[in-house]
Amino acid sequence: MAFGKPKARKIQTDHLPGPIATSYRRIFTRHEPDVERLMFILDTAEITARFLGAVVLCTLRELAQQGKVAPPLVDLGDASTRLKKPSFGLWMEILREGARRLVGNEDAFSDDAARSVAMDLCHFVFNEHQKTQGRPYADLEAIVVIRNKVHHPAEELDIPSLCERAENLINQALSHLEFFENYTSYVVKRINLRRRRLSEPAYEHQCFLLQGEIDFPAAATDDRNWHTETSDVLIYRGETSYLNLDPLFVYIHADDIDAAKTGSSTKADEVYPGMYCFAGYASKSAGIVADYAPCSSSTKSFRTSNESFRDPAMARCLNQGVEELLQLLGTVAASTANED
């Protein structure tokens, strides 16, 4: 059999959130429909589910903080156990059940921009009548089936055929995320207040744009008459509306990482600045510690208790954010289950 490039057509990624676009780009570093290319496709599908699930979960958290919905945000059963190492399937469940709850609480939104993002995601998950699963969500679910088949093979696999099918599915799913053209993902690096005599104050935001491929994110400045109160990963929804994705997605700046290793450490041990997604947690005697996986191939996973993570204040904030999210999911406090 002569191998060639799969038939699936590459889609544009400039409008996609950075983690999704960056993962999708890696697919095309492999020119043959082999196992490595297939794994890149599966990874892209999973980070898509993670990101969309995080947006849904953080939107519900925002409504809960406003007193519009009550915990649990999403019924995940034993969430405290399942989120210790969240699977692809769990993120799909969070996306589906979270979207279902958003549909049931559409009138709870007082912010039109926030409602717009939420309903766009719901249309990704469900059909226009909100009664059955939509095609994009079904495409991602079909990739979950392929992933399970690859990781638990019952027979010899036809990798080129699986690769072509999975690539067609991910292209179809991502083509339905065009609504992200209306929103911008970014992280605020610095805010400067500029006020001239007899004029209104202006806030100069220096941001790293997290739209499109983000191995080397572009810095940009923007003047506004309002400012964000956080430097976390944000989705700008319009006007003065933004959604905070902390602690499910975080951007680690150079100041947060001690990359200057000594002794027996090697370059492979280093944790580098970049964007990371929540990958689980562990319960310790002093509370919980969170695990994060990179959204880029140029760095590695880390735990907030790693020696290389030199910002204890940030580590405490991340751990606290994860524990608060667990409580909003209706679990007992994570620190009550000690794994030491």
Of 142, 158, 179, which residue constitutes the final position of a domain?
179
Same domain (yes/no): 94, 192: no
Identify the bridge partners of residue 206 per DSSP, sorted by sequence position.
Answer: 190, 221
264 lies in which domain range?
Answer: 249-336
Same domain (yes/no): 147, 290: no
- Contact of 207 with 221, CB cutoff 8 Å: yes
Same domain (yes/no): 55, 119: yes
Q: pTM to 2 decimals?
A: 0.89
Number of C-beta neighbours around residue 223 at 10 A? 10
Whole-number pLDDT of residue 278? 96
Same domain (yes/no): 36, 116: yes
Per residue of the chain (340 residues), give pLDDT as tens. Answer: 344 444 556 788 999 999 999 999 999 999 999 999 999 999 999 999 999 999 999 999 999 999 999 999 998 888 888 999 999 999 999 999 999 999 989 899 988 999 999 999 999 999 876 668 899 999 999 999 999 999 999 889 999 999 999 999 999 999 999 999 999 898 887 888 877 777 788 888 888 888 888 766 667 777 777 777 777 899 989 878 899 999 999 988 776 665 434 444 445 556 677 889 999 999 887 788 999 999 876 678 888 886 656 678 888 889 999 999 999 998 754 444 455 5
Same domain (yes/no): 277, 214: no
Same domain (yes/no): 132, 266: no
Same domain (yes/no): 91, 55: yes
How many structural domains comprise the chain? 3
Cβ contacts of 163 within 8 Å, gap of 6 or more: 6, 33, 34, 37, 38, 41
Query: Kind of pairing, strands 274-284 and 249-252?
Result: antiparallel
Q: What letter does residue 236 receive in the DSSP assignment? A: E
Extended beta strands in 147-261, E state: 184-194, 202-209, 219-224, 233-238, 241-244, 249-252
Q: Is residue 70 part of a domain?
A: yes
Extended beta strands in 201-323, E state: 202-209, 219-224, 233-238, 241-244, 249-252, 274-284, 287-294, 302-303
Of 179, 206, 235, which residue constitutes the final position of a domain?
179
Same domain (yes/no): 214, 281: no
Cα 147 to chain centroid, rounded: 19
- Contact of 59 with 118, CB cutoff 8 Å: yes
Same domain (yes/no): 70, 169: yes
Whole-number pLDDT of residue 336? 47
Whole-number pLDDT of residue 174? 97
Q: Is residue 117 part of a domain?
A: yes
Query: In whole angstroms, what is the distance from residue 281 CA to residue 296 CA?
Result: 20
Same domain (yes/no): 129, 237: no
Same domain (yes/no): 146, 23: yes
Whole-number pLDDT of residue 130? 66
Q: Is residue 4 part of a domain?
A: no
